[in-house]
Structure 1
């Protein structure tokens, strides 16, 4: 486990206990358990954050307490080099026209390295529920091909239903990759290359 992620979670929870919204908010922190992430991601009563950097952990907890909502924050054993996703919704990290990669949490840095040289837009998600349909649809419609590659730290296809629902009126192809696929950067690059037209 990336100790900075755990330290950020502990510090932000301690600070949140003194906040005004602390009585209304429920914030659970989990790490590494794909089944736990799946359980909360399929329950519409919870918002789900998958931060990829310690700064994002603190931001997710702060927002949850301010908004007084049920929030699950999933920590992985990895961390991106830089924080992203500090605004609501998905963040466009790299522009491209050949398709769209949606990288969740700490998968961003490996995705950026593995897709270097591909003409792909890369979106980053630190929050997966609620799912940012507008950002995904906008990126897909701006691309030359409606090809979507979903890379998540949990089980493969955890957010595939959300992608399908978002693009229900857009003929598209989806490649869903997850931690369970055990792909290193070279394997991820091969999977992307094989998938693209």
Structure 2
């Protein structure tokens, strides 16, 4: 269990006893609940965050509260070593030409270690919904191969439909891996290397 992720969520959530008027919307937090993550990710009325570091947890909750969003924040049992600056969309972490790996939340550090030495673009996202179509399409079109590996903390394929819709006019291949697979970085490395052309 990663107590820092839970503590960050507790500190960022507004005090319900406060006297300030409540903002519209709601922020729900789930810890390791991949079924809940999948449920909210299929509901277009919700923004869904899967932060990979305690700083990102605080930022996602505070951002959702300020904007009055209906937001679900998925907390993982893992944490990346360092926070990233992204709050919405994909952040370019590393550029490469042999394909694109999109890592969500706490999957980033294992993905970076698993793909070390490979000529791959690595994207990072904290926000699962809305899905960043422009960021993904831009990265795929810049690569020599339209091969996409999607690594998410929930069930495999959580965002596969969104990748397919984003790249509907781009012949591509997709490998969808999920945290529920229990993949460690060695298993990630084997799966990714086996998928690449």
Normalising by structure 1, we get a TM-score of: 0.95
Report if aligned partners of 1:21, 1:65 keep a CA contact under 8 Å in 2.
no
Q: Which residues of structure 1 form unaligned runs of 5+?
A: none
**Contact 1:137–1:166 (8 Å) recurs in 2:** yes
Who is 1:7 aligned against?
A: 7
Q: In structure 1, how many angstroms separate the alpha carbons of the residues matched to 2:116 and 2:75?
A: 26
Query: Does structure 2 conserve the Cα–Cα contact (< 8 Å) formed by 1:26 and 1:70?
Result: yes
Deviation at 1:18, TM superposition (A): 5.1
Residue 50 in structure 1 maps to residue 50 in structure 2 = yes
For 2:22 and 2:152, the matched residues in 1 are separated by 29
Q: Which residue of 2 aligns with 1:109?
A: 109
> Equivalents in 1 of 2:92, 2:37: separation in Å?
24
- Alignment match, 1:186: 186
C-alpha spacing 1:19/1:86, structure 2 compared with 1 (3 Å):
farther
Give the length in aligned residue pairs: 197
Summarize deviations over 1:90-137 as a string: whole Å, max 9, x none.
100011111000000000000000000110000001001000100000
Deviations 1:28-77 (A, max 9, x none): 00011111100000000000000000111111111111111100000010
- 5 Å-filtered alignment, 1:20-169, equals 22-169=22-169
Q: CA RMSD for the aligned pairs?
A: 1.6
Deviations 1:153-191 (A, max 9, x none): 100000000100110111000000002322211111010
Q: Aligned to 2:192, what secondary structure does the other structure show? A: helix
Secondary structure of the 1:64 match is helix
Contact 2:26–2:69 (8 Å) recurs in 1: yes
Structure 1 residue 88 displacement after superposition = 2.4
Q: Using the alignment, how far apart are the partners of 2:132 and 2:59 within structure 1? A: 18
Note if contact 1:45-1:70 (Cα within 8 Å) is conserved in structure 2.
Answer: yes
Distance 1:16 1:55, change over 3 A: farther
Aligned partners of 2:46, 2:128: CA distance in 1, in Å? Answer: 11
For structure 2, the residue ranges without an aligned partner over 5 or more in a row are none
Query: Mean Cα displacement is larger for which, 6-15 or 141-150?
Result: 6-15
Instruction: Give the whole-Å Cα distance in 2 for the aligned partners of 1:31 and 1:102.
Output: 22
Q: Aligned with 1:138: secondary structure?
A: helix
Distance 1:19 1:165 in 2: 44
